Amino acid sequence: MLVSELVNFSKTKTIAAGFEQLTEQQIGEMSCNKYTSRLIQAVLASKTIPDEIKEKIIGAFDENTWETLITDTYGSRVFEKIWDTVEVKRKQEIMKVLVGIHNSSKFWKFAMLRCDLYLFRKSRKDWVDKMKKQKKDA
């Protein structure tokens, strides 16, 4: 909890340096851990952590790992933060991967409702317009 608050301080160079050293596998493991997932969420939500670090976290997930993240109890919260953080173009890239995955997990279903998978499949243009409006309203 204390470390999660440190990411909001104005001087985050040491924390950022620590995150730069993490591998994609370590980021994936941390994202699905009861305690460290909160740190990942705090980093993604922080206004003082450099965007490069946030991009490193988001970039740790690919077509082989999104499903694991989203269907995990704690990882699903990290996915929500990622979704809130990224721009519409990046959301569209993520959705192109997720559209091909079928899972019956309650966390998966909730995430797909939040991402509006149905609208994405039906009309990408309408989906993009909706996401842009949501981003503007936020």
What is residue 8's predicted lDDT score, i.e. its pLDDT? 76
The whole-chain average pLDDT of the chain stands at 93
Task: State the average pLDDT over residues 60-76.
Answer: 96
2-35 pLDDT, tens digit per residue, is: 667 777 788 888 888 999 999 999 999 999 999 9
97-115 pLDDT, tens digit per residue, is: 999 999 999 999 999 999 9
Residues of the chain with pLDDT > 90, as a percent, come to: 84
Q: Are 88 and 128 in contact (CB under 8 A)?
A: yes
55-67 pLDDT, tens digit per residue, is: 999 999 999 999 9
Give the SS3 label for residue 46: coil
Tokens of 38: 């909160």
Give the SS3 label for residue 69: helix
Give the SS3 label for residue 35: coil
Residue 1 has pLDDT above 70, yes or no: no
82-97 pLDDT, tens digit per residue, is: 999 999 999 999 999 9
Q: Taking the CB of residue 43, how many other CB atoms lie within 10 A of it? A: 26
Contacts of 125 (CB under 8 A, 6+ apart): none
Of 90, 88, 82, 84, the C-alpha closest to 57 is: 82
**Model's pTM, two decimal places?**
0.92
